[in-house]
Amino acid sequence: MKKNLRNSFRIQMVLSVFGVFILLVLSTTYILFSSIRMQEIADSSFQKERNLKSMQESLMTYQTPLLEYLSTRSSNALAKLLVDSQTLRNKIPANMPKSTDSTELREREVYALILSFLDMADAAVEAKRGRNIAGYIPVYEEMTRLLKYINEEVEKLSTERFRDQLDAYGVFVADFRNIQLWNLLFIIFISFFSILLLLRAVEKMTDPMVRLSEMATELSDGHFGVEDIKTSSIYEIDHVVEAFNRMKNEIGKYIEEIRWQENIKQEYMQERLRNLKMEELVRRMEIYTL
């Protein structure tokens, strides 16, 4: 029998184990990406809030170098002030999507107020550099009032968003439970399919061996006329099956030949016995005729 690597017992075992491994990897990957997706959804609901809080903290930090420069005209304070100003401007979204939601509109307004605050800070710095005291003091006072208003608006937005997040929490939990349910069903399906795959592989390996055992019992009872065992798709087992079938057929032929020879021998002995009887009968007739 020509060996085919695809029908090798080892190859099929490796393929079966590899198939189960791939299914387990797929199920684990699906669960992982589902969890990551839920984390992204949860994170996105808090991202805007974190951005506003970060802007608020940066504005409060921005006050320190501004006051230092307005008080002392320190070059270090001016350098830090310019860096912080550019950092704040970069944090403001350039193109916010259009929306009719009141919270989104108020957030857009807060960002516009922050830009106005930074522009006023630049104006105060220019007035200070020009030694225009009457120019930068009113601007700074206006900035202080504007910063207070910005902080109040940020706190209001945070409160509204927190209330909206509480309302959306129930939906989030329901979606998360649905994903968990689908994950469970997917794991059950993968496990069931893996078990079927393994059972199929075991069946292909054990059925010919069981048939070999049954045929060996029949041969021990002298039944050599049973049908040959059918080959499977596993090379090593097929090799054993074909050898066993060949052995069974050879033994059957040998026994048939012995029986044929025994029949010939019996016929010969019977014929010889008849000849002896005829010879005995002829001798008796000769004696009677004398």
By mean pLDDT, which of 4-18, 253-267, 273-287 is the weakest? 4-18
Q: What is the mean pLDDT of the chain?
A: 77
CATH (residue range 5-199) = 1.20.120.1730
Instruction: Identify which of 48, 52, 63, 64 has the alpha carbon closest to the alpha carbon of residue 151.
Output: 52
pLDDT score at 42: 64
- Residue 104 has what pLDDT? 78
pLDDT tens column, 7-63: 566 676 677 677 777 877 877 787 777 777 767 766 766 777 777 788 888 888 888
Q: How far is CA 80 from the centre of its chain?
A: 49
Buried b (16+ CB within 10 A) or exposed e, 2-17: eeeeebebeebeeebe
Whole-angstrom Cα distance, residue 111 to residue 109? 5
Look at residue 5 and tell me whether its pLDDT is greater than 60.
no
Question: In the chain, what percentage of residues exceed pLDDT 70?
Answer: 84
Of the pLDDT bands very low, low, confident and very high (cuts 50, 70, 90), residue 2 is very low
Among left, alpha and beta (phi > 0; psi -120 to 50; other), residue 73 is left
Work out the angle at residue 80's Cα, subtended by the Cα atoms of residues 79 and 84, and round it to the nearest 5 degrees.
120
pLDDT in tens, 107-137: 888 888 888 888 888 888 888 777 776 777 8
Alpha-carbon torsion (175, 180, 181, 183), positive or negative: positive
**Domain ranges within the chain, ordered by starting residue:** 5-199
Q: Say what the alpha-carbon torsion angle 65, 71, 72, 73 is, to the nearest 10 degrees.
A: 70
pLDDT at position 1 over 50? no
- Asked if residue 261 has pLDDT above 50, the reply is yes
Note the pLDDT tens digit of each residue in 82-91.
Answer: 888 888 888 8
pLDDT of residue 290: 59
